[in-house]
Amino acid sequence: MPVIPTGKQLVAEVPAALASLLGVPAGDVEVQVGTEPDLLVSAAGQSFVVAVLAAASPGALAAHASQLAAAARRHRRKAVPLLVVPFMGEAGRRVCEAASIPWFDLSGNAHIVAPGIRIIVAGQQNRFRGPGRPASVFAPKSARVVRWLLENEGRALTQREIARATDMTEGFVSRIASRLEHESYVVREGSGALRVRDSALLLDAWRDEYRFDKHVLLQGHVAARSGDALARFVGDALAEASVEHAATGLAAAWQMTHFAAFRIATFFLAESPSTELREKLGFRDDARGANLWLVLPNDAGVFQGAEDRDGLRCVHPVQAYLDLKAHPERATEAAERVRSELLSRRHDG
């Protein structure tokens, strides 16, 4: 069973791992232990300024990248800054690429490109993965805090405000807020209120971890002349039956941007559809030919920020953007349009 190593244990693994990547004997790697950064390493005619992080959260990587680059410049003109983590996920890789920071992980992956050196290794599995999924600020209930922060980007929010808005205890919000702060996703003002440090980064990190397949998905077919007509018919039927609901995915993206006609309409439902409702919709179970996805969410937070858009109740754009990750048809393009029109003015600016 994999054991999560301590920071000192991670640092101790760096010289041998770097020697292997460089193709030199471990004895040829000269190491000087520092404080900021963690290590100064000389090997294969190169000097490296190394920072070791216990976890590759994109927020922490972004925060350390600029500090590490500055440390490398202070140490030696030709020193190579190098971030080391147990395992580098996709979001973390994008952060390092954007910051032009070389990295390797202790699972065997690497992207070290600098004058006189080019090492790229991909496809190695996370050797530090323990049983089950590790606790995450993006877990279904915890993500209510992230969702509310993103929906209110630009505002400083107190933990009490967040707790009331998300229907959670202040103690639970406090724990999630502390982890968000530790992972450099938020900053805490003098008053104690929280503000998102980099909303684009936070949104990317959440999308990287988001799993639509963790919801319960009911797939079926309902006769309709178009996706839009289907979405409106289903929305009206759900409203008439007093079932809490919100369109997401392609149907919501269409209402928000009028981009990309669609076939599959997707709705979150707060309760399982009754036999009467299925009959009223003419819902026929048919996964292969499905044009209607009815989704029972793994947390009620998906309804947070939902509102009527031209007569159809839809999730907040943040939720629609996340859900489009798992949709077919032109979902990738639709997600880009939702982000550029409704999220980028706040999340990328």
Residues 6+ apart with CB under 8 A from 208: 58, 89, 90, 91
pLDDT, tens digit (0-9, with 9 covering 90-100), for 283-311: 999 999 999 999 999 999 999 999 999 99
pLDDT, tens digit (0-9, with 9 covering 90-100), for 216-244: 999 999 999 999 999 999 999 999 999 99
pTM of the model: 0.81
| Residues paired with 248 in a beta bridge | 266
Pairing of strands 103-105, 80-85: parallel
Give the Cα separation of 188 and 156 in Å (integer): 9
Q: Are residues 177 and 257 in the same domain?
A: no
Residues 6+ apart with CB under 8 A from 220: 283, 284, 285, 286, 290, 292, 294
Q: Are residues 44 and 75 in the same domain?
A: yes
Give the Cα separation of 243 and 272 in Å (integer): 9
Does 133 map to a domain? no
Residue given tokens 């590490």 in the structure block: 68
The CATH number given to whatever domain includes residue 158 is 1.10.10.10
Q: Are residues 45 and 115 in the same domain?
A: yes
294: its two tokens = 């009815």
Tell me how crowded residue 189 is: count the other CB atoms within 10 A of its CB: 12
Q: Which domain holds residue 196?
A: 143-209
Mean pLDDT over 141-154 rounds to 95
pLDDT, tens digit (0-9, with 9 covering 90-100), for 82-117: 999 999 988 899 999 999 999 999 999 999 999 889
Task: Determine which helix (DSSP H) or strand (DSSP E) holds 100, and give its type and residue range.
Answer: none
Q: Are residues 172 and 284 in the same domain?
A: no
